[in-house]
Amino acid sequence: METTQIKSLLLPLANQTKLVIPNNLVAEILFDQAAQQSADIKPSWMIGHISWRGQNLPLLSFEELCNITCGSAPNTTGHCVVLHSLKHREELPFFAIRISSVPSFEYLDESSLSEAFENRVESPFVEDNVYINGLTSIIPNLDAIADLLATRVINHG
């Protein structure tokens, strides 16, 4: 029986952890992208908004969202990845996550992943903690992130 390989993007976070995202959910990778900050009181995980293809997208820090210690506040300028939202497509078709450096591609299958027992991140926004080729990685719960962001979009215009 043949195993299915999924082309995935490994997104580096500030704490050396990587987010694992299927490639088909990535709309674009942006380099040196400045975030526009609003004067509104916002949660620490909300860096601001970016302008992308005529749209105003929320930009978040996954580390802040999941209380991952990384030693510094999220940068308002830097690399980010624009993701397709699978939920709330009407009000939130895309959102962006800040990343610390250039991502890499991997073809992953079940044999590439093993459950991580050390340095686990427990959060409703984490689907699973895994090792990929020995490196600590996180599979994010993108639906939970979209739910949170859509609630903010609906309630804050």
CATH number of the domain enclosing 18 = 2.40.50.180
Q: Which pLDDT score is estimated for 27?
A: 97
User: pLDDT tens, 27-68?
Assistant: 999 998 889 887 676 788 999 999 999 999 999 999 999 998
Q: Which residue has the higher pLDDT, 131 or 41?
A: 131
Q: Which pLDDT score is estimated for 68?
A: 85
Is residue 93 included in any domain, yes or no? yes
Name the β-bridge partners of 113.
132
Q: pTM for the complete prediction?
A: 0.90
* Closest residue by Cα to residue 95 from 144, 132, 138: 144
DSSP-derived letter for residue 129 is E
Is residue 100 included in any domain, yes or no? yes
Domain that holds residue 87: 6-156
Is residue 41 included in any domain, yes or no? yes
- Judged against a pLDDT cut of 60, whether residue 13 lies above it is answered with yes
- Judged against a pLDDT cut of 60, whether residue 126 lies above it is answered with yes
Structurally, how many domains does the chain consist of?
A: 1
